[in-house]
Chains A and B, each alone.
Chain A
Amino acid sequence: MMVLVFLLLAIAMGVIIGSSKRLWGIAIFLTDLILAVLVFWSYATDKINIQL
């Protein structure tokens, strides 16, 4: 999951640099942010365990 959150950020950056699809970039970024919060939550509480 950690790899995925970095990868999604790289994709979001690539989208806004390489194309003019601003909203797509923002959508990918927000998805990434939500995933990052979930990953953090899983490390902080051990309540949920996110693995690929």
Chain B
Amino acid sequence: MKSNLIAFRLNLLELIAVVMLISMAIFFRFYYQELPCPLCLLQRLGILMTAFGFMLNLRYGFRSSHYGLSLLAAVFTAMVSGRQILLHIIPGSGGYGQPFLGLHLYTWNFMVASGFIIYIAILLAIDRQYRNSVSIRSEVIQYITYGIFYLLLLLTVLNVLSAFSICGLKQCPDFPQPGNFLFK
């Protein structure tokens, strides 16, 4: 029961981390007036996908298959951000967007995705959570959990709108410009 509660809290913590990361990405988009590139959008998608397995855990009980889905998404995110790092690895080739604390957002994203992979591997190893999969009955925690679920859904919908405003129904431009809007 105790290990179950720890796993519950750690799952919830990951969801909060994803909400904060995506909110920050959206904030930077408006603060720096920068439109996300196609690889940046795919990284956002990967981070949001990482939350899916944790949502399944909190909704239906802890299963290793749920962690597996999140692990796949984290590996996908690391692949995409790794690719973007390699695109700009040659000295003098610059980078995409403004750096944050000395590193570009895709470099941060690679570190976050690598961190998620380690985090999920550690969570997977808590064996007792699968045996004592008792649902958390506290109403306050239920409200918080569902609040975060809906927040994640809202952020995903916002990204649908953002992707649509940048790419329309065509392939996304490599260097989106503010005037580059819908179907152009």
A interface residues (Cβ-Cβ under 8 A, vs B): 1-3, 5-7, 9-10, 12-14, 16-17, 22, 25-26, 29-30, 32-33, 36-37, 39-40, 42-44, 49-52
Contacts and interface: CB of A to CB of B under 8 A. Distances in A.
List the 7 closest pairs (A to B, CB-CB), nearest first. A6-B160, A10-B156, A2-B163, A52-B169, A3-B164, A3-B163, A13-B153
Most chain A beta-carbon contacts within 10 A, residue among B52, B80, B152, B163 = B52
Given A2-B41, A22-B56, A13 B156 contact: yes
A40 B76 CA distance: 9
Contacts of A25: 56
B156 A6 contact: yes
Contacts of B79: 40
B113 interface: no
Given A16-B56, A17-B153, 7 more contacts: A13-B153, A22-B56, A22-B59, A25-B56, A33-B76, A36-B76, A50-B171
Interface SS, A side: helix
Given A2-B172, A29-B49, A10 B160 contact: yes
Given A16-B56, A22-B56, A33-B49, A6 B76 contact: no
B150 interface: yes
A15 B163 CA distance: 21
Contacts, number: 88
Interface of B: 38-39, 41-42, 45-46, 48-49, 52, 55-56, 59-60, 69, 72-73, 76, 79-80, 83, 146, 149-150, 152-153, 156-157, 159-160, 163-164, 167, 169-172
Contacts of B73: 33
Contact of A2 (B38, B80, B152): B38
A10 to B, nearest CB: 4
B39 A43 contact: yes
B140 to A, nearest CB: 19
Contacts of B150: 17
Given A37-B76, A43-B38, A44-B83, A3 B169 contact: yes
